[in-house]
Structure 1
């Protein structure tokens, strides 16, 4: 009975401490807990003191004595409490202020790291400014979250003790008719005290401040002016510490007196829902749907089309309007799902105004998203992966031209990804693309240089993505700031002419589109300008492709230029109703940018344009050849002749002979690819790829690709990577079990198992000597400590030592000994698990988690006991879902063990 009561007290104190702040502490006394638990005060005190000796509870020796749950306090304040006893609450507060790494509980506010980051920072700084904060106005439309922001700022200040323990928050809700009532309520009347007299430490949160009467504003001014001159003030309020937060739905200059505005130094603008990025809107939508699911006690699924419609919708009253829309949709879907465990929201549940404005896409399959297991899209991580591959060669390069070519090749891969996988609707970027084309035309015409026509489209897509994921893009630049600055400094020195041109383009984009070009885009444009213009000035023949229709000529020219890795063809896309004279004017303007002594080959799609030759030769005084019925193959032949310095007569004769139509059936060629994946996410897979790439002996024609583990498991052998690539093998920290695909576990590489399998797949690309070199490098690079150090952000030696002890303990408790390869796999799995928990990215979902808990209680208990010291060292709690994956990992490996590798099997 005693132990049971003691455990109940500890659990109660744990729950209580989760919401601890320094202003509400009465519940943390032995007396208060004895009343709550219906036991004597002496018994409660006895148990609490025993828990202090066991180092699970902290004691504050003030009068009265307070007790706090140690672990919850450490989680709350992101610190470790070395002492068990404190003299008083002020000492605890001081300790927290000196040692806490926590920035406050702002992570629960969606957008705290995105559109609201600056607002929260400035609001917090003004609120905590000594001695009693700076008055602030939050200006923003109704429903933008102003109340939530102010309440959270107050609660966090109370939690970390930056405001007095007796501080009282007073919320005043103004309306068009109640200003006089609130004036009396706050300031009192006829010797009757008001709220302002209730305590010396106040926070006024004035909501709908646009409705304050002139009289109320004047009284507020007197308080604010008194705060500035407390030393000379004779007011009865001079000893009061008051903080002010005014929440206004319209701009304060439209509703507040000049005197009041002079006394408020800070006005913050809270962004509208419409101004938030796509990823932030997605988070908000899923959050609201999850809340409705909790109310219904049902799982809610939403179609991808509905999510797209909600993200692109407009709502009256911002977040309030979005929340109301979602509630109505959930109510509609609930009727259709009566008696079922899950509710599915379809497009027909959308309100009429969203259905009418829903963007239409033609190449997307509808999928249903489980909002309970929803994870933010990792699409932007794939873009960042390409960014890394673009800038990496330019950092500490050995040869500039080699580095530029590699960066250009990686940007071409990014262009392909944006064209075939990212699927940005053309209507979203058409305006930007046209504007960019006009801007580039102005700059390049002046400089007599060229860029492929398709470059504008790719640039427009990247600008669109930068706006969608603005905060993530900004964070990427901050994380890579030193590297990017160094690269820009180098290319401005080495490629001064190209850098000047890109600066011109950047200035015009900023002036005309009001867009800031990111540093990554600056680097990409310099690389492209250099690549396509370095050889142009010396060329004897230039090529032009002229076709009817949108982007027809551009597509052929881009394809041929990419295959030839040279800027050979300029593209001209023409409307169907354009005249020959109009085409001639465009061609003359383009050709005047090139070498004036060079000849021109114009490739056209229809015979009626052959007359262009005579008019062009007259206008630009050069030899002009016209080739009819242009195709990619024909253009490729012409391009080869141009690059090999064939004269115009030889070129035309040669390509005419080979232009007869023929057919053959060719089996599709797929790029050889090694696939890297990890259940810890795409970042872990990227680290594995980098480590493997560093072991390869130079460049080999094999693509090293990363893939999201969950997508791989969900799609299986039908994943698009298997359709477009010849996957040699998959490697990673967890086997996705793809039928027909070879998986080589990371522990196999470390232990040397299956090395022959790996080298057999690489043998057609590597000579025997290179294979031996690869094996030597793998043995050197893929040691256990190297791999752990590369995959985790934690100290690898300390982590491995701690994990080794924990696994040894686990083996003892399970009465078994794992084999060498399996042991390495478990070490890696647990090290990645620890990093996930430390970085708050734990795997929280597991199929039939309740069943696992029911059937594996002994295993769960063993893991908790064996990992106890690990949990304390890294201040983590291992969730049952992670234990389930560890159990699955061990069980799956056991099925493939060789005889005698295990002393005993799992029971």
Structure 2
């Protein structure tokens, strides 16, 4: 008998080995199909198959139905399932043993096909994009694995040949330089001999050390703005100066990676962010799927087991405590927790065995238990091999559809009514919907899926007159479609019985629910084209259950009401609220977005009315405008009474609905009573308090205004209750002042140009530098600052509003060096023109000429001067004077002074106006460089 069984087992193996492993052949790996093929009973074949699993010749996929796969066939098709694994919970887990034709270091990452899939895809792109990769910023809380991912990126680039095997990987913890930005720049760029006291020889920096490799800036948020500026220049042009050598540009080929635990939009300069094309956020441990957390626990335990060389067992209670605990430090804290637990258990180890019990876990984990203690025992121990099975669970999509098919089969077998089937299906749907709603970590790829899904549902809902979906329902279905699009065909193979069940389900939907069938078909046609759904079989069934669930408690009204309103979802929103409150499917809606034509709305309304077969009365609620004349488009041949009410609102809809439900009012009475109840009332609450504010207005752009305010802020006492608001000069003459005055009590305006706002004093930057007109500050701030605070404020003004501080916004040029050049230029112009400028004019010219030189150095287009030809002819002598005066600085910086810029300089000197200076320097101040450093 045994020999006969062996012979049959060989026959089974022969069939399994010669059957290609694909979704279409899935049923051929079941006991039912093999029993028919070999002409033996199903129970007998099932027994032999399980024996083959025990003998390590087959792997069992423990789903419904159960599948049996030959190990030799798996190996031939690229699956490397270890002998220790005999049973897998699903097809998805089998994919985890798929071997790649090329080594991929990211296989070490748990979640590589889940929550970290997008991060890995972006990491590969950042390292391999020619010619020198792309800068990348990793964000995420402490312990999420940013540094580990950075190391894997370098290994990946080496394995792909993108970087040499021995290429450098230089890591800098920027937090060490948080209070010493000068030291950071010295270490980053290196220095030349004599750059500072103690610099006895040249020394290369981190950039030079990372040449040909990768520079990793960890905790980059700790860097001061001036350090970020220097990094920006290197990312932008690949060049830098060594400290102490401002004449020589150095370059190197370095891939730059950065990491931060903070929000980059809040702590990094905007220009630096714009030079980082790839930003990837790593999820917190609590935001990752539970299966990944279980895999991490198992992986960490297996790592300790290999290190100790003995078997590690963990109690049921200890394992579930780790599984459900919250770890603020994320994966890093979990790893430390496992190490501490193993270390505590190590004291009680035997020669070949180490047991982890609840008392071995850190004490703080005990306060976070969220599971039923009665279901766990500290005496029940699990070897790690059995824990591995618990780390794998079937997806919510698979669980829901298995339950759906099983329950519908019971209906087909006449074991339950169709209403009972729907009741069970609703319970399963609610469980599945909970998993969709609680999925808090969404990658950008999944976000695209959701956006497309939402658009599909909105489009189909907008064209459906009887099955309009509310925004909340669209949101849930959006998540479902995105989830269905992510599923792979092999994750959910259908055997012959499943296919028969699905076909019977589809036939029932088509026969009994033609309207729902049509809407489902419209949704899935779009989904196949945009989301690449591999099959519409299961989504058809799922969407039917969703639609039935959404309308399960709503009864159809005897008098339908359709709402028409302008706006994206105004009508839909009113209809949804009214239906829910009245518990009746009474209101339908037709939205009229801003770009929607009136003819399109009327066509949809007529289509809607045509679908109301046998309906004798209809009420139309409209909001305003052209919709109020909707009666002219309905035709006179309608065999029904139609009432139209304007000025629709939620209250009007509820009033109409309540009267329809009473059933005692005629249509005309409903319309008259609804109009009588629609009485408007108003109430006005005036602003009783306005915050004090000081405005900064600069003709040279809002960036300079922000700089002025920063200096003003540092002068004011911290307790001063005054809002500081930067304002663009042009906006004050375009209505901005009106809105500011309505919200704030504006005390004062400071800046480079008097906006001439009636009733509000103005103090110029030049006056603050010269310490003139200070009595205006006394009057404006009286009652807000004490005498002592006012004295300290004035001392702060003297300290902060110096010309050197105002020039600190220069991007490349050294303020101290440029001041020398500007002073020489002004001296030459005054000497050759035989004139003497006022103190205020000189201060303005220092700012004007400094910005002008800066803009020419960085190669920006010169300002356009009106009627340049006339100016050139009339002021040839002045042009020559200025060109001669600028000659040294032009030679020093290798720049050319355009005549158009000389024109603005002439206007400033001749008219004593700062307005023209604004045009001359506005471009540089709106440039990326200036936005950051202002």
Q: Normalization by structure 2: what TM-score?
A: 0.35
Higher relative contact order (CA 8 A, sep 6+): 2
Point out the structure with max Rg over C-alpha. Answer: 2
